Amino acid sequence: MAPLLSIHNLHISVEGKEIVRSVDLEVLEGEVHAIMGPNGSGKSTFVNALMGNPNYTVTEGSAQFRGRDLLAMEPNERATSGLFLAFQYPKEVAGVTLRSFLFAAYKQQMAARAPEKAKLSPLKFKKLLEGKMQALQMDTTFEERFVNQGFSGGEKKKAEILQLSVLDPVLALLDETDSGLDIDALKVVAEGVNRMRTPTFSAVIVTHYARLLQYVAPDKVHVMIAGRLVESGGAELAQTLEREGYTKYGVLHG
């Protein structure tokens, strides 16, 4: 089986400084990978560059997504091809309701990936959205509020998972989605991710701690130190890191 995502010798720089170095990674359909590492190790840089954030420059290497050259695609092409990024710090969008935002994104992405779904009426989309909000224990009145404006940290993260659920991507990049969540919100977010898991859905979860991985079991865990993937293993590696930290990799605090 050809990998869904295939990355070879990837180097990424920010403002001329190399942050990610010589990364190789393959993700198959249906797999969930976790990338763990201390703060500043390059984890967020890695996933943001894959999504096409212009602040991150790929200086060397290749990335193939669904058989296409990912690096040659514009950010909107990456999204409509089924790539999704949940942000560590979700942005506020003043003047745009959550429902309007998600309906516009849904129509654009479905037009490219599943044209029959793009014909969904506003009323049927509202019903679809409210069902998914209830599953995430979100008050449905939030659909009329401006995107993330006045939301708590946990509500912003739930809104990111709501977007993931509505857009139904092929590959989700989750950038520190667990940061700042209390245990109840963490469980709700994890349940949202787990409901997405099918043989055709894959994810790369970037996290500092293993607590999210207690609820979303990864197929593979990778350790990133100073921009390099230095070790890979199964789900048990996350628990080892939780107990022992990153000291053996030369990191004193992490």
Q: Is residue 24 part of a domain?
A: yes
Neighbours of 139 (CB within 10 A): 10
| CATH code of 156's domain | 3.40.50.300
Checking if the pLDDT of 16 tops 90, the result is: yes
Fill in the DSSP letter of residue 91. Answer: P
The 3-class SS string of 12-80 reads EEECCEEEEEEEEEEECCCCEEEEECCCCCCHHHHHHHHHCCCCCEEEEEEEEECCEEHHHCCHHHHHH
The residue type of 120 is L
- What domain range includes position 94? 5-249
User: Which pLDDT score, from 0 to 100, does residue 185 have?
Assistant: 86
Q: Which of 132, 147, 110, 243 is nearest to 188 (CA)?
A: 132
Q: Is residue 128 part of a domain?
A: yes
Q: Is residue 106 part of a domain?
A: yes
| CA dist., res. 155 & res. 138, Å (int) | 8
pTM over 0.85? The answer is: yes
User: Which pLDDT score, from 0 to 100, does residue 132 have?
Assistant: 94
Distances (CA, A) of 147 to 62, 73, 100, 157, 214: 34, 27, 9, 12, 29
With bands split at pLDDT 50, 70 and 90, how would you rate the model's confidence at 61? very high
Q: Is residue 55 part of a domain?
A: yes
Mean pLDDT check: name the lowest of 97-111, 120-134, 162-176, 238-252.
Answer: 238-252
Q: Is residue 254 part of a domain?
A: no
Q: Is residue 137 part of a domain?
A: yes
What is the number of structural domains in the chain? 1
Q: Which of 125, 130, 114, 135 is nearest to 193 (CA)?
A: 135
What mean pLDDT is predicted for residues 183-206?
92
What mean pLDDT is predicted for residues 178-197?
89
Q: Is residue 79 part of a domain?
A: yes
For the chain, percent of residues with pLDDT exceeding 70: 99
Q: Is residue 143 part of a domain?
A: yes
